[in-house]
Amino acid sequence: MNVVLLGAPGSGKGTQAERLQKRYGIPHVSTGAIFRDEISKKSDVGLRVQEYVKSGGLVPDELTVEIISRRLAQSDCAAGFLLDGFPRTVAQAEALDGFLSKGKKEMDAVVSLELSEAAAVKRLSSRRQCPKCGKIYNLAFQPPKQEGLCDADGGALGQREDDKPETIRKRLMVFNDLTQPLIAYYRGEGILSTVNGDEGVDAVSRAIYEVLDRFKK
Ligand code: AMP
């Protein structure tokens, strides 16, 4: 099953993707996570993308497509994948369609998590993440059991550098300008489903399962 999770920053894509990868046994492929990993390793790619990521802008399409194509060509993606944060522009969506059709594959479903801008800002500013395992928390509605520490491995929770107020505004603007048009793109392909992302985490998961269970093999 090949799936894209669409949604504004803060709409819960990462949190839902963690659950979906377990339920459907397909890898969660997040371009944001790949970029953050490369930046922390100070690799060539990391050095090329760090300014874009830090400022809340988009990494150029060509580089992003190159990196994702390499990732999707790995064997664990052969039976399906769950994309989070890619595509983010119509050009990236077209490149993805081209990449898949070369391998005689296609996208099965695109799930768009809908959320108001005010709710997205609120969520992003209270989001915290474990630097060791990547688990995501939210101080408002999904806090860790012990303040400041990851439930899974005790890592000291931190805030993403791009979750600061000015950068949040920029990322939402970029989403509205460049990523929102993907809704129409995938509606035109007849594979778009929308889910209200403003519900609790479990309710949102249930709504996504309803969409995706029919593609389960
Ligand atoms: P995310 O974790 O999805 O919020 O992504 C964090 C940052 O990584 C974004 O603000 C962009 O700077 C960069 N990024 C992630 N995915 C893409 C993409 N598909 N195209 C361009 N830049 C991206």
* The two structure tokens encoding residue 66: 């190159």
pLDDT along the chain (217 residues), means of 10: 96 94 96 95 97 96 97 95 98 96 94 94 93 90 95 95 91 96 97 95 97 88
Output the pTM of the full model. Answer: 0.92
3-state helix, strand, coil in the chain (%, to 5): 55, 15, 30
Residue-range definition of the domain harbouring residue 148 = 2-215
Residue 10 CB–ligand 1 contact under 6 Å: no
Rounded-to-integer distance, Cα 58 and Cα 26, Å: 26
Name the residue with the closest Cα to ligand 1, atom 12: 53
Count of positions (residues) in the chain: 217
Q: What is the secondary structure of 40-96 as a DSSP string?
A: HHT-HHHHHHHHHHHHT-PPPHHHHHHHHHHHHTSGGGTT-EEEES---SHHHHHHH
Q: Is 23 a catalytic residue?
A: no
Structural domains counted in the chain: 1
What's the CATH code of the domain at 7?
3.40.50.300
**How many angstroms separate the Cα of 10 from the Cα of each of 71, 130, 146, 189?**
24, 16, 23, 26
Residue 31 CB–ligand 1 contact under 6 Å: yes
Distance (Å) from CA 67 to ligand 1 centroid: 12
Distance (Å) from CA 217 to ligand 1 centroid: 30
